[in-house]
A and B are shown apart, each in its own frame.
Chain A
Amino acid sequence: DADVTQTPRNRITKTGKRIMLECSQTKGHDRMYWYRQDPGLGLRLIYYSFDVKDINKGEISDGYSVSRQAQAKFSLSLESAIPNQTALYFCATSDGSGEKLFFGSGTQLSVL
């Protein structure tokens, strides 16, 4: 079983819809992150959380919100999806030791 699990793996939605991407981990890490990958732009940080009560905006947080329901769960929401949010989304965890990230398999989101 994967240590960092993202659901769904693929999602197609329409402009204006609310959508939630979920991430759960069994690594016992406190730190969790959401990144977005666009072709030619690499991965950009959306939100990060260092524990359940600690949530911080990243480089590109506009249009997104997050919820850290438990140490193991970190969800990303798009309140009103728009086409330029079409991207590959990655959840990652870290134990804070040397900042190595452990990534989920990604969620490919398409907003029509």
Chain B
Amino acid sequence: AQKVTQAQTEISVVEKEDVTLDCVYETRDTTYYLFWYKQPPSGELVFLIRRNSFDEQNEISGRYSWNFQKSTSSFNFTITASQVVDSAVYFCALSERLRDTGRRALTFGSGTRLQVQP
């Protein structure tokens, strides 16, 4: 069963629009971490944010903000006043214990491709 769902495969917006990328996760752990990574056209993976399961405070960093709601198992990412440089694939990820080893590893969603048109 998929553990991290990013239902939006691709989103296209015009510059200066606000855009929200959805992420829904599934886990039996009581302690876990959630992440967002950005993959620009150059291909590297850029860390954006980590949130632990005990901290439901929303976070804002410049034009970026994140809304974590345990009640709905969601960790959504909003870009305010989008810019062309925000064009990228964005991945949501969940860190949880793997059943076979009990070790932690990240499980990624399938990604959302964001295109910001000038």
Chain B residues in 8 Å Cβ range of A45: 105-107
Partner of B110 from A41, A88, A106 at Cβ < 8 Å: A41
Closest chain B residue, CB of each to CB of A43: B108
Looking at the complex, which of B14-22, B45-53, B73-81 is the stretch in contact with chain A?
B45-53
CB atoms of B103 and A99 under 8 A apart: no
- Kindly supply a per-residue 1/0 record for chain A positions 10-44, scoring 1 wherever the CB is within 8 Å of any chain B CB and 0 otherwise: 00000000000000000000000101000011111
Chain A residues in 8 Å Cβ range of B70: none
- Kindly supply a per-residue 1/0 record for chain A positions 72-109, scoring 1 wherever the CB is within 8 Å of any chain B CB and 0 otherwise: 00000000000000001010000010111111011010
Total inter-chain residue pairs, C-beta < 8 Å: 61
| Band of interface residues on A | 20 to 34
Q: Is B87 an interface residue (CB 8 A)?
A: no
Chain B residues in 8 Å Cβ range of A43: 91, 93, 106, 108
Count of chain B residues with a beta carbon within 8 Å of a chain A beta carbon: 26
CA A91 to CA B93, docked complex, whole Å:
16
CB atoms of B43 and A105 under 8 A apart: yes
CB atoms of A42 and B111 under 8 A apart: yes
CA A57 to CA B110, docked complex, whole Å:
21
CB atoms of B47 and A58 under 8 A apart: no
15 extra interface residue pairs, beta carbon distance < 8 Å, beyond A45-B105, A56-B103: A42-B108, A42-B110, A42-B111, A96-B104, A99-B33, A99-B35, A99-B95, A99-B105, A99-B106, A100-B47, A101-B45, A102-B47, A103-B44, A106-B43, A106-B45
19 contacts between A and B (CB under 8 A): A33-B106, A35-B108, A40-B9, A40-B111, A42-B6, A42-B110, A43-B91, A44-B108, A48-B103, A56-B101, A57-B100, A96-B104, A98-B50, A99-B35, A99-B104, A100-B47, A101-B106, A103-B44, A105-B44
